[in-house]
Structure 1
């Protein structure tokens, strides 16, 4: 029986270049068929793959065929799979975001946050941040029911304000917020003030905006670190993964 770290890693939707890049980490990455995803996952289990990395184009399609953890269920996407004892899917981006915010040194405890998105699912990208000690959290979506759907997953004891983008109270919530997180859509004009820090997951807000835009340049590598940890059970350093990103995009 081979050691765990010698088991192959399935690359679902990724090219052969990804497999070649992973060799530098001592991993055997093998591109697998994507025409029948359920059959592919079954074959990976039979052939004793340790796990899988999922290309962004297939993250939604793979969700129904995995035992998805809460992060994957809430976002509706899977970006890494572990085959030990089942087909365990996760969406590693959400925990990677926590890693990057914590590493930034931003003081979250006792602060107020405003999450701005479009739907319950895209707002779920920011939900893990709410565990970092915020006392007040506004949740803004296209509709109030979508905002309420995201807000129900917030920690107990946190003051929560779910509203729609069209509600005039959005400006009031923004004035009281320290951190603003944009998960989808556009940032309402004039909302960002010099005292705000913005976490922009859309990549659309320019550096010339008012306030401080948090540096998320390490997020892709941190995400890959989380993906590989889930799929292989091994730990890697973010710096050694950065050169691999172009092959895994």
Structure 2
């Protein structure tokens, strides 16, 4: 039999752990010093839990922004347009002329935003259209839309990006352009808040989204395909085939 004594921090949304154990730890009736065991029949493990402290809110500061990345372009980029944005630009060296062209493009995109409705949604649409950071748009695999970087902790982004985002004078809707090793970031500020407040807001938003999806009713059209016909080769295709057979 194997045994281990481990002290860990557990969150209320902890995954991969026994739900009953988490519920017990966060129950108001469970006091510091209380002890209880929980059996994990699936993995043939028994956990003996000893509560050492009461739950506390995570007051770590996090920020949320949207950004549109404009990278310098070289002749190599034209030949390999499918290459990923940030990682590819980080390893390349560009001429001053190419950097100037990228800056000009970034200013043109920001001007396009300022000449429009100037809403977060309009900025997000521009990110979908123009951002080279595809992982922060619907073109990537992350499921993110509109250049969103949400709930970011200090140290996760490059210094220039972070300094702009964490400036205490920032307010919702602020925009600007910052330069980093990756290119020019057109920024849109959303919020700077404590982690637990960000998590609460995200949970409520997710709950509302799930409720909306669950409330949607799908209408089935039984005869929707009744008048469809099988596609037939066009006359030009037949003529082409006949000509090829005649040549043979």
TM over 0.5: no
TM, length-normalised to structure 1: 0.23
TM, length-normalised to structure 2: 0.23
Larger Rg: 2
Between 1 and 2, higher relative CO (CA 8 Å, sep ≥ 6) is seen in 2
